[in-house]
Structure 1
């Protein structure tokens, strides 16, 4: 395994958000996520009900295990079987600090970090960088850890969404498919959050790209979901539920929802879209289809290796209008 092939890294670190894996985990997990924000316990219990609909298990950890295995298989298929892949979460086991301690014990000196968030902005990028810095300060002899660049416009992220959007449109009855609108959705954030404007610009850029590639001329709109702040605090809008009502009022009969802000089907997809948004559409009489997220799509998995190797000068592919993103987060910290 050459240094050029791995850009001098001796490990790859997969970093994700984390999620509960049983009913007893739900409240402790939510306390981790909201620590320091003064969220009342009754509010946590209300959010916890979403997880209990799924047995108290978030799908995100299983998806990370599957992604890690797929990355390892892809690396092996390209002559990089000796590059170890580690996995750590920000908010649940396996915790990032424990994983970094294991890496230090294993003699890892320099690792590339791939995070399961494709965009710029504080919660998508800056917070991950801060957590990496915090954990490295806590762990004796911690390896250097360099976060791989924002990848929302990398072909390996865009192409699976193009494929999924076409498949969702094709799943509709032909008379409805011909007139269906596309609603791209992403997690909303407060308007006061650092990096919010860049986050929204990247979402609009990739939504336009996917729409024009998958279904040229098709009506589409970028909407938001999963807001959790107090009603008086302004967040990115419009909300997907409000948008569905607007489509219904305009006489639209079908909508394809593309969760463009997510790399896999975790709880904000499984509940906020597959339950809440789908129920809203059903009440309105709207045919509703939700496109798949990249997950372990082979093109997405290959992208992880490509992001690693581009550090050795193999090129920085990017689609859309904003060009390749820098190696560090934008002005979002």
Structure 2
């Protein structure tokens, strides 16, 4: 791409409910096609209901959008930012129509997912195809690469880890935690990377990069998982963070530092699964526990995202693209247009 080749940025995210009445409709969207009854959804809904039915993710995306706009303006990049979600308003169809109505066509897509997986890549691609087909808009979508090892993502996590380790008792363990997915889905993310696919390989490499930057390469650590769902008969990535904490307590480990590096912001699966459940597990054993912040709107993270925008605007060669692991820089994605989407009924 040459400078000026893009018209706007789409900030694409998961979405979340913003009131008690939104919770079940939101969860229906998330589980669409799986036949999950409402009484089962209500079992999950209590996570949201305990926080007034509001997921933090939408407000965090509003704040991230504003921070991106400020950094783009500071650098003199004339690229408006439009925000759209998969599972709650504003939906992708709304965002695509907004982009069309503003006269934009070539769009850089920034997905709030740092890793390769079906839920972080393939499902977004499918949802973009559906929204393109439904709206009939003439957009060309160019997704920014996964940024698991970009300095802008790694540096805030490393700073948080260093500070937490300085407060933790000697002998504490670092738990790098991410969302569990089915083992078959992990393998499908990149079989050439081994049993856990690209998904696990990226997390392992990213954890080592965070430790190096935090000057903590000699600190004991492990990769653990959270937020498993679905049939108990289907294998998912393990160990669960609570099981890992139980095992460490049995070994006499005095404390844990939790690094939620599978997430870019403190949304519901962080504030419930980690800040509530995992913290309760650790404190129940009398262990020191601290969960470090996600990147959120940390200035280093925001600047790093705009760096990723600039490398596409300027068509920066791979050899000059920043990365902190041997897996990077991760390649760009093929563009998406309405003509590349599956055949579907198109409406204005």
CA distance in 1, matches of 2:301, 2:158: 12
Runs of 4+ residues over 6 Å off in structure 1: none
Q: Given the alignment of the two structures, is residue 168 of structure 1 paired with residue 170 of structure 2, yes or no? A: no
Q: Is the 8 A contact 1:255 1:286 kept in 2?
A: yes
Matched, 1:87 2:92: no
Q: Please tell me whether the aligned partners of residues 149 and 325 of structure 1 are also in contact (alpha carbons under 8 angstroms).
A: yes
Query: Following the alignment from structure 1 to structure 2, what is the Cα–Cα distance between the partners of residues 27 and 168?
Result: 37
Is 1:323 the counterpart of 2:328? The answer is yes
Please name the residue that 1:201 is paired with.
201
**53-62 vs 211-220, greater mean Cα deviation:** 211-220
Q: What is the CA–CA distance in structure 2 between the aligned matches of 1:71 and 1:118, rounded to whole Å?
A: 17
Contact 1:212 1:218 in 2 (8 A): no
Distance in 2, Cα, partners of 1:266 & 1:157: 17
TM-score normalized by the length of structure 2: 0.90
Q: Which runs of 5+ in 1 are unaligned?
A: none
Task: Give the match for residue 244 of structure 2.
Answer: 243
CA RMSD in angstroms, aligned pairs only: 1.3
Q: How many residues align?
A: 321
Partner of 1:11: 8
Distance 1:167 1:54 in 2: 28
CA distance in 2, matches of 1:16, 1:142: 21
How many angstroms apart in 1 are the aligned matches of 2:199 and 2:295? 19
Q: Do structure 1's residue 181 and structure 2's residue 173 form an aligned pair?
A: yes
Q: Which residue of 2 aligns with 1:273?
A: 274
Counterpart Cα distance in 2 of 1:228 and 1:61: 22
Structure 2 unaligned spans of 5+? 190-195, 335-348
**Match 1:313 to one of 312, 315, 338:** 315
CA distance in 1, matches of 2:64, 2:38: 33
Contact kept? 2:208, 2:217, Cα under 8 Å: no
SS at match of 2:183: coil
Cα distance in 2, alignment partners of residues 76 and 163 from structure 1: 26
Helix, strand or coil at the partner of 2:235: coil
Q: CA deviation at 1:141?
A: 3.0
Q: Is contact 1:26–1:48 with CA below 8 Å preserved after alignment?
A: yes
Match of 1:36 among 27, 33, 36: 33
Q: How does 1:1-333 map to 2 (within 5 A)?
A: 4-6=2-4, 8-80=5-77, 82-172=78-168, 176=169, 178-193=170-185, 194-195=188-189, 197-214=197-214, 215-311=216-312, 312-314=314-316, 315-328=320-333
Displacement, 1:4?
A: 4.3
Once the two structures are superposed, residues 74-118 of structure 1 have per-residue CA deviations (whole angstroms, 9 ceiling, x without a partner) of: 0010012x3211000000000111110111111111110000000
Whole-Å Cα distance in 2 between the matches of residues 295 and 288 of structure 1?
21
Counterpart-to-counterpart distance in 1, 2:265 and 2:329: 22
User: Where does residue 337 of structure 2 map in the other structure?
Assistant: none
